[in-house]
């Protein structure tokens, strides 16, 4: 016998809780006649935005946990973000089932929109340590983002919280480059700092995953459009290639050069 569908007095169902009707009404291709692959293109970008939303939420929680010295909870946040990023990278495989010819059937309709204008991606970068001032120009895209930006400017970022955490634990005595590097070397050499070392590894892992996403995205872009300009107005692949060197935890990367077997 089929199970009876339970309905309570709130009338709550799967669809009403998740707002499925609204969600599946949000994909509106612009091409006429509709190009087959435009739905894929829209869905994949929307899914990215949803994952960005959760990543931002987890990164803010991670910052709060570091500020309160909750190392176990910090690991929990980082583990989740790391799993999300694996999906973010892997999703590009689905996009690559679209051929450049199929993409060209609707690409002109996108102008001048581009992932370049993803405000959530910019938030994610700022929370991860990018300089807020470099992102002010994006606020013109949506006036309400200006308030997000000022909030982000005051809320601190992940590398700053990490340094404050090291200061509070007296693992560094100031925030100079030399002092941070010396403190990190001690953390990696002395087994009594095992837990903090694992935290450092989880943070560099996050930095690495962000780079992997950038790298995978630029490869996919070259496969789709070669050396054409981007719809967002940049030089395309050569612009994206310049972003590959962005790193938010430079000391954690530099440290490795100075480590030895004692």
Q: Which residues are at the interface with ligand HEM (CB under 6 A)?
A: 44-45, 48, 95, 103, 114-116, 118, 121, 217, 221, 224-225, 230-234, 236, 239-240, 243
| Nearest to ligand HEM of 75, 116 (CB atom) | 116
| Nearest to ligand HEM of 179, 234 (CB atom) | 234
DSSP-based three-state secondary structure for 64? helix
Cα separation of 130 and 128, whole Å?
6
Which residue, 132, 190, 156, 163, is CA-closest to 251? 163
- Give the other-Cβ count within 10 Å of 186's Cβ: 14
Closest contact distance (angstroms) between CB of 183 and ligand HEM is 30
Closest residue to ligand HEM, based on beta-carbon distance: 230
Closest contact distance (angstroms) between CB of 143 and ligand HEM is 21
Cα separation of 150 and 162, whole Å?
21
Q: Taking a C-beta distance cutoff of 8 angstroms, is the pair 207, 248 a contact? A: yes
Cα separation of 234 and 126, whole Å?
21
Closest contact distance (angstroms) between CB of 29 and ligand HEM is 14
Closest contact distance (angstroms) between CB of 209 and ligand HEM is 14
| Nearest to ligand HEM of 229, 256 (CB atom) | 229
| Nearest to ligand HEM of 81, 181 (CB atom) | 81
Cα separation of 167 and 175, whole Å?
8
Closest contact distance (angstroms) between CB of 88 and ligand HEM is 8
Cα separation of 209 and 205, whole Å?
6
| Nearest to ligand HEM of 8, 101 (CB atom) | 101
């Amino acid at each position: 016998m089929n199970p009876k569908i339970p309905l309570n007095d709130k009338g709550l169902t799967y669809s009403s809780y998740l707002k499925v009707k609204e969600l599946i009404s949000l994909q509106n291709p612009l091409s006429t006649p509709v190009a087959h692959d435009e739905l894929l293109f829209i869905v994949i970008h929307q899914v990215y935005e949803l994952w960005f939303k959760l990543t931002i939420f987890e990164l803010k929680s991670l910052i709060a946990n570091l500020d309160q010295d909750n190392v176990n909870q910090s690991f929990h946040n980082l583990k989740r973000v790391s799993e999300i990023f694996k999906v973010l990278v892997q999703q590009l495989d689905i996009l690559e089932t679209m051929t450049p010819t199929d993409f060209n059937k609707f690409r002109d309709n996108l102008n001048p929109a581009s992932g370049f204008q993803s405000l959530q991606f910019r938030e994610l970068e700022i929370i991860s340590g990018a300089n807020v001032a470099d992102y002010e120009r994006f606020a013109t895209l949506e006036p309400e983002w200006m308030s997000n930006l000022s909030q982000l400017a005051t809320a601190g970022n992940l590398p700053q919280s990490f340094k404050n955490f090291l200061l509070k634990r007296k693992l560094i005595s100031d925030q100079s480059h030399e002092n941070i590097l010396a403190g990190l070397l001690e953390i990696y050499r002395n087994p009594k700092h095992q837990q903090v070392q694992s935290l450092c590894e989880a943070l560099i892992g996050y930095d690495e995953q962000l780079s992997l996403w950038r790298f995978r995205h630029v490869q996919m872009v070259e496969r789709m459009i070669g050396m054409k300009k981007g719809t967002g107005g940049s030089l395309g692949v050569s612009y994206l290639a310049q972003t590959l060197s962005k790193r938010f935890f430079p000391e954690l990367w530099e440290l490795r050069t100075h480590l030895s077997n004692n």
